[in-house]
């Protein structure tokens, strides 16, 4: 039986980091703390790599309009 997308997100809550790809080519990695049906996300310990430098962002709220995809992190 296949899992529904929101079930997969439920499994990622407060677990390993996820990678969130955003419009404009940005990618943010962080621990998924919450989300809603509009794909608004709350990420804790978020970080973004800019020009080869990892910049810590702390806790972020990402508006769902900007999300292209969410993926489990490799590390």
Residue 75 pLDDT exceeds 60:
no
Residue 44 pLDDT exceeds 60:
yes
Counting other chains too, the contacts that 10-14 makes at CB distance below 8 Å and 24 or more residues apart are 12/70, 12/72
Distance CA 47, CA 30 (A): 6
Confidence of residue 23 (pLDDT cuts 50, 70, 90): very high
Distance CA 51, CA 31 (A): 22
Q: What is the mean pLDDT of residues 68-75?
A: 81
Q: Are 54 and 41 in contact (CB under 8 A)?
A: no
Please write the tens of the pLDDT for every residue from 3-20.
777 787 888 888 889 999
């Amino acid at each position: 039986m296949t899992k529904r997308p929101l079930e997969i997100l439920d499994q990622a809550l407060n677990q390993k980091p996820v990678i969130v790809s955003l419009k404009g080519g940005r990618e943010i990695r962080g621990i998924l703390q919450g989300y809603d049906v509009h794909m608004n996300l709350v990420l804790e310990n978020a970080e973004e790599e800019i020009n080869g430098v990892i910049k810590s962002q702390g806790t972020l709220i990402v508006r769902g309009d900007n999300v292209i995809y969410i993926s489990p992190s490799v590390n």
